[in-house]
Structure formats: C-alpha cells, structure tokens
A and B are shown apart, each in its own frame.
Chain A
Amino acid sequence: MTAIYTIWGYYARWTARWPAMAAFVPFVPLIAAWGFIAWLEIFPPVFLPGPVEVVERAWTLLYKGILTDYLADSLSRLAVGAAVGMCIAIPLGVLIGLSRRAHDFAWPILLFFQAIGDIAWLPILLVWFGFGLTTMTFVIVYTVLFPVVLNTVLGIRSVKPELRRAAQSLGASKPRILLEVTLPGALPNIITGLRNGLGYGWRALIAAEIIVGTSGIGFLMFDARRAGSVEEIVVGMIVLGILWYIVDSWFLAPIERATGQRWGLVTS
C-alpha cells in the first residue's frame, strides 16, 4: 500500500505542475490494454486493428494530406455553422427572454422544432438543396440554434430583478441596462448553451458527412467502412475524439470557468 501511496504522491505532484498531463496519462494503460487484446487476436484483425497499424495508417493519411484536408473541411463547416447559428440565436433568445408575449408564443414552437432534431431534416434538405455545402451548413446552424436560444432565454430570465433595479436607481437607461446588466448576467448560460450546441452540432456534422458527404472526417470514416478498412475508421474516431477534447477542454470549458464560476453564478 505504501508503494502505491508514494507513486500516487509523485503523480499528484507531477500533474499539479503540468495539469495537462493528467489528461493524457490515463490513456497509456488503455492503449496498452488495447494493444494487448489486439495482439492476442481474440477478434480478427479486420474487426479490431492494433494501435501500431492505426498509427501507421494515420501517418499515411497525414503524409498524403488527406487527413489535414478533411479535418480543415470539417472544422470550417462547424465554425461557419456555429457562427451563423449564434448570430441568429442570441438576439432571438434575448427577445424571447425579455418579452413575456414573445416567450408565450415562441416557446412551444421552439420546443417542437428542437424535438424534431437536426438529423431528421437531412432528407428534406437533400430534396431542397441537393448534396452539398448548403445542406450541411443548414443542419449545423439548426443544431446549434436551439440549445443557445433556450439557454439564453433561461439566462435572461434568471438575472435577479434587484440587479436591474439597482442599475435603474443608479441612473442607467434601458439599453444600458440590457448591455451592462442583463447580457453579462445571462452570459454564463449563453456559453453553456454554446457548449451544448457545439456538442450536438458536431455529432450532426459527422452524421451529415456520412450521409451527404464528399469530404470531411465523417466521410473518411464511412468511405473506409465501404472499403472495409477498419484502421481508417479507428483513425477517424480518434481524430474526432481528440479534436473535440481539445475544443471542449482548452477552449469552451475555460470560457465557462472564466465567467460563470469566477462570478460564482455557476457551482460545479
């Protein structure tokens, strides 16, 4: 037991100095186990390739430039979709959050369209726009839109009335109150909505690329499925995982922490 504690002490000290390492080290035993199982060939290699084969394939794809091209395609689609989605969603959310009538009217419609879900739109979008960029962008905008709108509304409505009254009695005009009090108060929720929206949007992108795609990581995986190349599927999955992990934990989560937790509005 003492040995374990000592090792743990070293590990804790080490990860305290480089916190990023705590996110990588746990994968080492997992990959080792994967390699071992693949090496035993319990499952045939066409079903479960080893880590070495996967890395080799990843290197080939990278070397040919396919991986980087596809990655750029997927990321730019996601970025464009997310940007457009937010430009629509935040003003809409503010409007619905501020006006009771707009809320009563729009809320059921929002819930219904959210319930239909992005992917169910693919067939009709294909009828409308054909196989192409418009279809994919539409799906992502649609996916990002709802979580951001719903959370913005929630955020606006959860700003304490005393804060608005305080601003009023300090002489703030209505637009100033919106800008200085209501929006910052709703910001943590908006960011949570964005985080959820991107989480969904990113899955929708994969589905769209599988079904509609001519390029992108989703297309890479499905093309590999057709060709029966299991290594390439696994490469695609790992790339997706790492990518989202980076976006979420180095980009979205810090923003969330910087606002909500810093202000003590969100306890997590």
Chain B
Amino acid sequence: MKSLALENLSKTYFDPYRGTQHTAIKDVSLKVDEGDFVAVVGPSGCGKSTILNMIAGFVPTSGGRIMVGGREVRGPGPDRGVVFQSFALFPWKTVAENVTFGPKMRGASKEERAKIAEEYLALAGLSHAADRYPNELSGGMQQRVGVVRALANNPDVLLMDEPFASVDAQTRMTLQEELTKIWEERRPTVIFITHDVSEAVFLANKVVVLSKGHVLEEVDIPLKRPRVWDDLVEDEAFKTLSNHVLQLVRRA
C-alpha cells in the first residue's frame, strides 16, 4: 500500500455541441497517507466522480499532477484498484473468474489463482458462489465480488466510486460494516466517493467536502474503531460530526 497525492488538479471539458470549455475541477489538492481512509462527499455534479476517474486514469487531467507512491499517474493501471457503482463485473465470467481476473492478467498460474480465489471469496463470505455467474447473485453479493476483485489484485490504492449506492438500505449497512472490518484488518489506502454523509462519516478517517469543483473543507473523523452501526447510531460524537458535514454539503 502506498500514499496518494493530488497536486493542483484541474479538469476542463471541451463541449463539442456548444464549442465551449467547461470547468469541472478547479485546483484541487489533497493528500492521502499510506493506509488512510478518505471519503469525498458533495452534491451531485460537484465533480467527485471526475476526480476519481482521473485518479483511476480513465479520463486525462487538464492540469496538475496525481502521484501514487511518488510516481505520477498516466492512464489506468493495476496499482489502483477500482470498485464501481454499477459493479462492472464481467457477465461472461464466473464469480471466481472475476475475482482472479487481475492475477490472470499479470500471468498468475492456475494453482496460484485457485488459492487467491479461495482466500478472497472467503473474505467476502462467497465461497459457495464461486462457480455462479454475476447475474445469478443479488446486488449486495455482486458488490462484495466487486470489492474483493479489486483487493485480490493487491493495488497500492483502492478507489471506490459510490460502491453501495445501488443496493438496498439493509444490505448497504452490512456492506459498510464488512468494509470497515476489512480495512481495519488490512489497512489499504482508500478513497471513497459518496453522496451519503453518514456513510462517509461512518467509514472514513477524514471526510473531504467538495463543492463546484473545489475543496470546501476537510473534516477529521476521530471516532474510535472498530465501528459498528449499533454503537454509532446513538453516539453523540458521530451525530455531531454527521450534522457538521451535512450542513457543509447543504451549503455547497
């Protein structure tokens, strides 16, 4: 795992239909330490997904630099694992094949892949579903596969783009608790994009509030771990922090 730094990042789009430049991100700087968990929140259209897509290398930057472990990012690569809102599982591959896709790409042997599949499916609690196809699973199970598929590739940084936005509320809380548990055990460097304030406060060590393409405020979340919803719903500190962030987002 490595640290991540955004240095004066900006993004402008050329709109071919209007012929004008459109500014999505203005001069954003952010540092994420090794093993840290940072959530980025903001209203829709604030540019939070654009930032993640630039870190992932899916869209080019217009200015500034993105550094992962001291090396500048150019294009997508296996050093940054991505978890998508739409899951983006390969429908023509089984669950196990999806999880071992990354290792297969770098040429891991069959035995090696079988071991990886076993380990990470156990981590996701999906050992029984190894040979099923994604469309045969529920949304929550699909996203568990999505998360361990990214982890199984041993990325330096884990990028999560509203990963739990398209599952039901019950499942979402379970997935959030599972994610904190995995993070507490393995300490990956995580950037987590969401529009759900309590999700951000629950998961992260630091919440970055984004507004119209720039950083409004960085809020530290000194809540103790392990975090579970049963403890936190009544917790005063959690409520105060959530309220504070919520006010910022609503003003944004």
Residues in A whose Cβ lies below 8 Å from that of B17? 12-13, 16
Residues in B whose Cβ lies below 8 Å from that of A65? none
Complex: chain B residue closest to A14, CB-CB: B16
B92 within 8 A of A: no
Complex: chain B residue closest to A16, CB-CB: B17
Residue in B14, B16, B17, B19 whose Cβ sees the most chain A Cβ within 10 Å: B16
Chain B 15-51 interface mask (CB, 8 Å, partner A; 1/0): 0111100000000000000000000000000000000
Residues in A whose Cβ lies below 8 Å from that of B14? 9
B199 to chain A, nearest CB (A): 29
Query: Interface residues of A toward B: which range?
Result: under 10
Q: Per DSSP, are chain B's interface residues mostly helix, strand or loop, or mixed?
A: loop
How far is B215's CA from A93's CA once the two chains are assembled, in angstroms?
60
Residues in B whose Cβ lies below 8 Å from that of A9? 14, 16, 19
How far is B184's CA from A203's CA once the two chains are assembled, in angstroms?
66
Residues in B whose Cβ lies below 8 Å from that of A8? 16
Residues in B whose Cβ lies below 8 Å from that of A13? 16-19
How far is B19's CA from A87's CA once the two chains are assembled, in angstroms?
50
Residues in B whose Cβ lies below 8 Å from that of A12? 16-17
Residues in A whose Cβ lies below 8 Å from that of B19? 9, 13
How far is B14's CA from A2's CA once the two chains are assembled, in angstroms?
13
Complex: chain A residue closest to B17, CB-CB: A16
A250 to chain B, nearest CB (A): 23
Complex: chain A residue closest to B16, CB-CB: A12
How far is B209's CA from A64's CA once the two chains are assembled, in angstroms?
74
Of residues 124 through 154 on chain A, the ones whose CB sits less than 8 Å from some CB of chain B are: none
How far is B13's CA from A12's CA once the two chains are assembled, in angstroms?
15
Complex: chain B residue closest to A13, CB-CB: B16
Of residues 1 through 23 on chain B, the ones whose CB sits less than 8 Å from some CB of chain A are: 14, 16-19
User: 12 A-B residue contacts at CB 8 Å?
Assistant: A8-B16, A9-B14, A9-B16, A9-B19, A12-B16, A12-B17, A13-B16, A13-B17, A13-B18, A13-B19, A16-B16, A16-B17
User: Closest 9 A-B residue pairs measured CB to CB?
Assistant: A12-B16, A9-B16, A16-B17, A13-B16, A13-B17, A13-B19, A9-B14, A12-B17, A16-B16
Chain A residues engaging chain B, CB cutoff 8 angstroms: 8-9, 12-13, 16
**Given A9-B16, A12-B16, A13-B18, 9 more pairs with CB closer than 8 A:** A8-B16, A9-B14, A9-B19, A12-B17, A13-B16, A13-B17, A13-B19, A16-B16, A16-B17
